[in-house]
Amino acid sequence: MNLYSSKEMTLLLERHDFFFKKNLGQNFLMNEATALRIATAARETVTEDGPVLALEIGPGAGSLTLQLSKLFDRVHALEIDPHLLGVLEESLKDCENVTVENCDALQFDYQSLLTRYPNHHITVCSNLPYYITSEVIMLLLESGIPLTGITVLIQKEACTRFTAAPATPDYGAISAATAYRATAKKLFQVGPGNFIPRPKVDSAVLRLIPRKEKAVQVENEALFFKIIRAAFSARRKTLLNALTGGGIGEKERLEALLTECEIDPARRGETLSLDEFARIANILNKTEES
Ligand code: SAM
């Protein structure tokens, strides 16, 4: 069976009474070269010897899974839609190294992979459903499992936000939170013609390499992220007003604190580097502790 032929894919889906669900972000990759290119990019994140597990979120009908199966020792794929299980059984019948699990990737116990696949390096490779992109990436980065990389096909605009640098229009809380835990790079763009059904927007492949050490030293991560969220919640306000409005503290106290950090309170939140956010969080944490 050729999974990349629209005709054969349509027949496969019909055999299993499958209908596309927009609310699950179901746009299937139909270009073999693109699928292989994404799987190869994921393989490149593995630099050490030893067996490697590719974790895929949302295998769909198996277009990317098939390529992962060729390049990795094992593939574990999490699919929420039970109507795709029969489809995957048929499309991946020759791929003995693939395990499909019917579950919600947002509820999955990622730590369990360490005992299920002992001694394996783990990398993530997915054509992610757009409605959980940020949530699932943050979940993976915070999961505590050592990942060689996260290689994901996502909407182009989302990719730009993940990779945006401070003081650029797309820099936001998600860019800062990602940069704290990983290095981020856009690899290449993928046009709407690569999918069925055809999405309205362009997509791009994002590569994240989790950092061994966080980008900056932060004493209280919850406070650090609260400050970042507040700073970006009101982009047109000054940093001082955004932090005050975001419940970080009283205006006079915050003004003195920003001055102590050598950060102009009149700056906009989106101009701050991670290091500056960390300085504010660490001084604020110290004053709250004493
Ligand atoms: N990997 C396939 C491909 O490239 O053709 C399908 C990608 S499609 C963009 C996203 C897939 O994620 C769909 O199969 C969808 O059912 C599945 N999905 C959506 N939400 C999910 C969730 N919360 N957990 C696991 N899978 C999910």
Q: For a substitution probing ligand 1, which of 9, 12, 28 has the most ligand atoms within 8 Å of its CB? A: 28
Q: Give domain status of residue 186, yes or no.
A: yes
CA of 59 to the centre of ligand 1 (A): 6
58 CA closest ligand 1 atom index: 12
Three-state secondary structure along 4-15?
CCHHHHHHHHHH
Structure-block tokens of residue 128: 């992610």
Q: Give domain status of residue 216, yes or no.
A: no
Q: Is 59 in the pocket of ligand 1 (CB under 6 A)?
A: yes
The answer on 246 and 176 residing in a single domain is no
Q: 180-198: per-residue pLDDT in tens?
A: 999 999 999 999 999 999 9
The domain boundary, picked from 162, 183, 210, lies at 210
Average pLDDT of the segment spanning 58-62: 98
Model confidence at 283, in pLDDT bands (50, 70, 90)? Answer: very high
**Nearest 5°: phi and psi at 107?**
-110, -5
The answer on 79 and 178 residing in a single domain is yes
Q: Domain containing 206 — which CATH number?
A: 3.40.50.150
Q: For a substitution probing ligand 1, which of 66, 79, 128 has the most ligand atoms within 8 Å of its CB? A: 79
Q: Is 64 in the pocket of ligand 1 (CB under 6 A)?
A: yes
Q: Give domain status of residue 1, yes or no.
A: no
The number of domains in the chain is 2
The domain boundary, picked from 172, 189, 210, lies at 210
Instruction: Tell me which residue range forms the domain holding 58.
Output: 6-210
Assessment of whether the complete model's pTM goes beyond 0.85: yes
The answer on 250 and 187 residing in a single domain is no
Predicted pLDDT of residue 234:
86
The answer on 276 and 193 residing in a single domain is no
The answer on 119 and 29 residing in a single domain is yes
Q: Which residues of 96-128 are buried (b: 16+ CB within 10 A; e: fewer)?
A: eebebeeeebeebebeebeeebeebbbbbbbbb
